[in-house]
Amino acid sequence: MPPLLRATHLTKSFGAVRALRGVSFELEAGEVHALLGENGAGKSTLIKVITGAHSPDSGSLEVDGTQIEHFSPREAHRHGIACIYQQPALFPDLTVAENIALRLENPRAWSLVRRRTCRIRAAELLKRIGADISPDREIRNLSMSEQQLVEIACAIGVGARIVVMDEPTASLTQKEQHLLFHIVRELRASGVGVIYISHRLEEIFTLADRVTVLRDGASVGTNPVDTINENELIGMMIGREVSHIYPPRESRPAGVVLSLRNISCKAGGVHDVSLDLRRGEIIGLAGLVGAGRTELARVLFGITPADNGNIVLNGKSITIDSPQEAIAYGIAYVPEDRRRHGVILEMKISQNMSMAIHERLFPGGWLRKAAENELAQRFISQLGIKSSGANATGETLSGGNQQKVSLSRWLATKPTVLILDEPTQGVDVGAKSEIHKIIRELAAEGLAVIMISSDLPEIRGMSDRIAVIRGGTIAAMFETVPDAQALMAAALGHKAA
Amino acid sequence: MKTTLPRELPLVLALVLVFGLLALVAPEFFDRKPLMSRFAQEAPVLIVAAGTSLVIIVRQIDISVGSQFAVSGIVAGMLASYGAGVATCAAGALGAGLLMGAINGLCVATLRLPSIVVTLATMVIWREALRLTQQGQFINLPSGFQWFGLTLESGQMIQISAALALFSLLAWFASNVSAGRFIYAVGSDAEAARLSGIPPRITTFAAFVLLGGLCGIAAFMNALQTPQVDPKSGTGLEMKVIAASVVGGIAINGGRGRLWGAFLGLLLLTTISPALTYLHVEAYWEKAVQGSIILLAVIAETIRTRRV
Amino acid sequence: MRTALRPTLVRHEVILAAVLLIEWFYFYFTATSEKRGITFGFGALDSQFDLLRHSVEIGLLALAVTPIILTGGIDLSLGSTLGLCSIVFGKLWQDAGAPLWLAGLLTIVVGGLAGTINAGLIAKLRLPPLIVTLGTFSLFRGLAEALTRGTATYTGFPSSFLLLGQGRIAGLPTQGWLYLLVTIVIWLLIHRTVFGRTLRAIGFSSEGARYAGIPVNRRIAAVYVFAGIIAALAGIIYTSRLGQAKADAGTGYELYAITAVVLGGTSIFGGTGSVHGTILGVAAIAVLTKGLVYARQPQEVGGILTGALLLLALLASTFAKSTFYRTRTAKTLTAPPQPKLP
């Protein structure tokens, strides 16, 4: 009997990045199969291939022994594959019943909307999964977890046989989590195969039958859940250190330049963060995606200012209420989303680089093209930015080069505190090393650097100290760089053995 | 669980307030004859407001409706002056409207040009073309054309009933026919619509064509009310119907709002002028009051949705 | 899909300039006649000056709305602001007996206040510019009508004042110099200052601009206030040109202004555009409209051609894109215009 789903040697590359390197994976009917791995390990790419959003470069995918010829969301749908993403793809302005109806069928334009039928069916599905949601509510008025439940109702409604859940409990309360577990067990009991992606080891042990660990685009192993323990799982996730050479820690941390005490920001989901940043030091902020690292950075940069707590800069108590203020205080933030926040794609490299230092570079308010070009040339050569020149627009650059432009913009502000959010994400190996070298040099020159990274080897290789963020606050503080096991355990919230 | 008050609530309150005030201070506002007359006059506008609401819901805009209205009216008038029967004139007006709507729809949906500029261009083109051919001349309609040859009273009744019937049909369509829901879906999230198998471009095109057709019908209805067709009719129509839609709770970002809201919005905005007269407030305050209502409506809507 | 369009934009304005020249020479040769050594018709100096006079007010509004559109916004209320300011000016001078210079100054302040209302609602409350300015379009016109009780107009201005709109300085119509001055100021502001650069950044990506430390709300507020001030100036010039302050002054001007701006190559979505494009757009429309009058052609043909030109200009900018596809996040600053349909 062939397994419900079988993926064989799937490979997928995006440009220079090899996201999947020959992954094989199987799912049985009536099984909950957990998928575990660090960020960038290949989990989301694997899921995207399974759900037809991407087609693999090589390898095959079979459902019930039938090969999938053509990869598209509709094909996946046809084979009974449904996915519950973290960001539900529902129509915000339509009701729950309408969303379910649109998802479940392809209505013809001139058909009558059978409101009562739709509502009854929606209510039925919601009841089946035990969700207490009225079908007449608009999606935009639903909480994240309620939207997720609607998505699950849709999946059940279409009679999906393979349901993929991507971090489903990320924003759920205890009660909602229990409800979800119940639903998952029901699905399993009815013969559905569930692929369950989660970082929460307790969940995996509670819910899953088998667990597969991905690392660097390959499968490290599949084990039944009762034959393995947490530490072994963590060990599989992090594996051996890739022999990447990080620049030696030449900088010597000096005095405290920025002090945070009990920083909270409700809107940002950050609470009670206390941290000291020293000149010449690189502090790594480790943690899972969504743990609150970027949110903390945004508080420090004034995008979502702190409601409570104290910030002391060079001995003076300050408040940071806007990015302008942050910049004036010498705080710079290289954002995670470089296409939306790091670089303005339609503008030239030179224009992007000068964007944060207008007052300094253009005193009196008049643009000075010569000064701007000179700035651009300096950074282009210093950071090795490959482009057709300072006049090239941001969108003509590769991801890595865009990142360098984003970095240049903030380096030009000659900051005291530099916050880097995933600085080498999507950047090729060569550029990565260059950026690492530059970061260490900056620290050596006396900057206080905060480095947010989901890349464990990177954060261990670059940081002098590491703070682990979980649930919007500092869960653990490592004054010296811990081993990968301990670090991952802390990020997961698991007490390392 | 987040609950929301119906979006049209402040509007209903405002209407109750205005009508209440009038009932107390100037009950002659509700006299049958002038009331019917006003309703009959606004009946065509109501039709156009329905179509405009749908275009706004699909996340576009059409500021050429005034010109479409004028052109369709002249087409009907010309057909009538050549001796065509009433039905033919209606068909002519409808056809002209559909054609103009299709041109807008083509530019926006197929060529993917921004609707505000496209309809700005077509507004100017149709208006100027009309001025060129008509030179401001009215077209005299044959006797017997007006009000279908019936008395003023019956004619007005028919106009109002027909307009309400058509409007109700459109409102029903928007809620109960899948094509109507497609309009909401595309306006809410065009990409999600596409992934669900709803064609965003065809839906958008259809909304513009529908609006054009409704302009045609409205123009025909309007032609029935006077012995002549005025090529300058329809001036300011676009601002009126857009304002009515927005005041009625149709969100400019698309995907939301009920057509009956636009009905109430139009009711409020068109009541202002006569209300001012009856309340012995000088008529020259009309525009200022209308403008304030629009601003208040959009502020209220934002407060309502942001608090949620 | 939008790109920086820098090389393409140069082409757009060059083509528009060519169209303008073709128009101008066409009318020069077909609508000009000579009699006893005096030139009549389009080519006559007086006609050209007349053309200039008529285009100054719309030109000023077009200059005023260009920065707004560059940030991705829109302003439909400028014509009404012009009318309101015309009346305020007339009223201050005639009813309040204020000296002309004071009336002018206060009128400019009123224009700024009108702009501030727009600015407050759009920048502070983050309401959609299309609807806000639709509301103020009615409100300001309504205030103008209310101030005149619907009928009054103000006339009888001293000839020293009429010099502004009807006279000449150094051989050119007076308001022409003012137009030139404002053009230079706005051109420098948009193309040579940091302020202008930040406007473009906001137009391309307001979030991206924010993360770069640009005070987005302040900039957006500023452009609406500026526009109000310039509209006030246009209102004063209008009053001087006609010798009369009327409540319906400037009706329909805002749409003309926006037409000129888009014709000139500025994208309605923001970011891309130029002041010289706007000036060329205003000139192209003016020459076309007035030229037809001198050529004894129906002037409506001008309107039709303007509309057609506008569509062509749109098509031109839409198709002159790079092949680099980029998905856009939904923009709602001027919703509509809308993100492209998938």
Look up the ipTM and state it. 0.89
To the nearest whole angstrom, how far is the Cα of A51 from the nearest Cα of chain B? 13
Residue C194 has pLDDT above 80, yes or no: yes
Q: Say if the Cβ atoms of C208 and A348 lie within 8 Å.
A: no
| Residue C55 φ/ψ, nearest 5 degrees | -95, -5
Contact A58, A7 (CB under 8 A): no
Place B10 in a pLDDT band, splitting at 50, 70 and 90. confident
Nearest CA in chain C to B134: C300
Q: Which residues contact A342 (CB under 8 A, 6 or more apart)?
A: A334, A335, A402, A403, A405, A406, A409, C208, C211
Q: Say if the Cβ atoms of C150 and B291 lie within 8 Å.
A: no
Q: Say if the Cβ atoms of A355 and C2 lie within 8 Å.
A: no
A244–chain C Cβ distance below 8 A for any pair: no
Residues in chain C with CB shorter than 8 Å from the CB of A324 are: 213, 215
Lowest mean pLDDT among A376-380, B34-38, C83-87: B34-38
Lowest mean pLDDT among B129-133, B142-146, B299-303: B142-146
Q: Which residues contact A469 (CB under 8 A, 6 or more apart)?
A: A285, A286, A287, A291, A292, A293, A296, A475
Q: For chain B, how big is the Rg over CA atoms in Å? A: 19
Query: For B89-107, what is each residue's pLDDT tens digit?
Result: 999 999 999 999 999 999 9
Q: Say if the Cβ atoms of C335 and B118 lie within 8 Å.
A: no
Q: Say if the Cβ atoms of C127 and B200 lie within 8 Å.
A: no
Q: State pTM to two decimals.
A: 0.88
Residues in chain B with CB shorter than 8 Å from the CB of C127 are: 298-299, 302
Q: Which residues of chain A have pLDDT under 70?
A: 16, 239-244, 495-497
CATH number of C6-27+42-319: 1.10.3470
CA dist A441 and A457 (Å) reads 19
CA dist C54 and C242 (Å) reads 10
Q: Say if the Cβ atoms of A345 and C209 lie within 8 Å.
A: no
pLDDT (average), residues C104-112 = 96
- Report DSSP state, residue C158: -
Chain A neighbours among B 56-115 (CB < 8 Å)? none
Contact A236, A277 (CB under 8 A): no
Contact A393, A348 (CB under 8 A): yes
As beta bridge partners, residue A25 has A7
| Greatest CA separation for chain C | 68
Q: Say if the Cβ atoms of B185 and A73 lie within 8 Å.
A: no
DSSP states along B166-233? HHHHHHHHHHHBHHHHHHHHHHH-HHHHHHTT--HHHHHHHHHHHHHHHHHHHHHHHHTTSSEE-TTT
C-alpha B220: how far from chain center: 14
pLDDT given for residue C10 in this prediction: 57
Q: Say if the Cβ atoms of B242 and C134 lie within 8 Å.
A: yes
Query: For C242-292, what is each residue's pLDDT tens digit?
Result: 988 988 899 989 999 999 999 999 999 999 999 999 999 999 999 998 888
Residues in chain B with CB shorter than 8 Å from the CB of A113 are: 175-178, 180-181
Find the helix or strand (DSSP H, E) in which A256 lies.
Answer: strand A256-265
What are the residue ranges spanned by the domains of chain C?
6-27+42-319
pLDDT given for residue C3 in this prediction: 46
Residue C230 has pLDDT above 90, yes or no: yes
Pairing of the two strands A218-224 and A210-215: antiparallel
Residues in chain C with CB shorter than 8 Å from the CB of B242 are: 134
Q: Say if the Cβ atoms of C326 and A395 lie within 8 Å.
A: yes
A158–chain B Cβ distance below 8 A for any pair: no
Burial of A433 (0-12, 13-18, 19+ CB in 10 A): middle
CA dist C281 and C288 (Å) reads 11
Residue C186 has pLDDT above 90, yes or no: yes
Size of interface A-B (CB pairs under 8 A): 61
CA dist A288 and A9 (Å) reads 28
What end-to-end distance do the CA atoms of chain A give, in Å? 40
Q: Which residues contact C307 (CB under 8 A, 6 or more apart)?
A: B121, B122, B123, B124, B125, B128
- Give whole-number Cα distances, B116 to A35, B246, C72, C78, C136, in Å: 48, 16, 13, 17, 18
Size of interface A-C (CB pairs under 8 A): 81
C302–chain B Cβ distance below 8 A for any pair: yes
Peptide bond into A423 cis (omega under 30): no
Greatest mean pLDDT among A459-463, B4-8, B192-196 lies in A459-463
Question: Alpha helix (H) ranges present in chain C?
Answer: 6-30, 45-70, 78-94, 100-119, 129-147, 159-166, 174-192, 194-204, 206-211, 216-242, 253-263, 275-294, 300-319
Pick from A299, A321, A347, A409 the residue to mutate for testing the C interface (most C CBs within 10 Å). A347
Pick the CATH number of A5-238 from 3.40.50.300, 3.90.1300.10, 3.40.190.10, 1.20.1250.20: 3.40.50.300
Task: Report the neighbours of B using a cutoff of 3 or more CB pairs below 8 angstroms.
Answer: A, C
| Residue C233 φ/ψ, nearest 5 degrees | -60, -45
Residues in chain A with CB shorter than 8 Å from the CB of C208 are: 340-344
Structure tokens given for A261 = 């005490």
Q: Say if the Cβ atoms of C213 and A326 lie within 8 Å.
A: yes
Q: Say if the Cβ atoms of C337 and B286 lie within 8 Å.
A: no
pLDDT given for residue C330 in this prediction: 31
CA dist B146 and B130 (Å) reads 22
Which residue is associated with the tokens 């990142």? A403
Which residue is associated with the tokens 């494009």? C277
Pick A367's closest partner by Cβ from C197, C212, C215: C197
pLDDT given for residue A174 in this prediction: 78
Q: Where in chain A is the domain with CATH 3.40.50.300?
A: 5-238, 256-492
Question: Alpha helix (H) ranges present in C1-122?
Answer: 6-30, 45-70, 78-94, 100-119
Instruction: State what percent of residues in chain B have pLDDT above 70.
Output: 96
Place C334 in a pLDDT band, splitting at 50, 70 and 90. very low
Orientation of helix B32-57 relative to helix B259-278, angle to 10°: 140
Find the helix or strand (DSSP H, E) in which A258 lies.
Answer: strand A256-265
Q: Which residues contact C217 (CB under 8 A, 6 or more apart)?
A: C123, C124
pLDDT given for residue C320 in this prediction: 66
What are the residue ranges spanned by the domains of chain B?
9-15+31-307
Q: Which one is predicted more confidently, A86 or C99?
A: C99
Would you say how long chain B is, in residues?
308
Domain B9-15+31-307 classification at class level: mainly alpha
Q: Say if the Cβ atoms of A367 and C193 lie within 8 Å.
A: yes
CA dist A161 and A225 (Å) reads 22
Q: Which one is predicted more confidently, C11 or A330?
A: A330
Q: Which residues contact A278 (CB under 8 A, 6 or more apart)?
A: A253, A254, A255, A256, A257, A448
pLDDT given for residue C1 in this prediction: 40
Would you say how long chain C is, in residues?
342
CATH number of A256-492: 3.40.50.300
Check the CA dihedral C171-C174-C179-C182 and report its sign: positive
Chain B neighbours among C 65-104 (CB < 8 Å)? 74
pLDDT given for residue C64 in this prediction: 97
Residues in chain C with CB shorter than 8 Å from the CB of A322 are: 215
Instruction: State what percent of residues in chain C have pLDDT above 70.
Output: 90
Q: Which residues contact A227 (CB under 8 A, 6 or more apart)?
A: none
CA dist A104 and B66 (Å) reads 41
pLDDT given for residue B136 in this prediction: 78
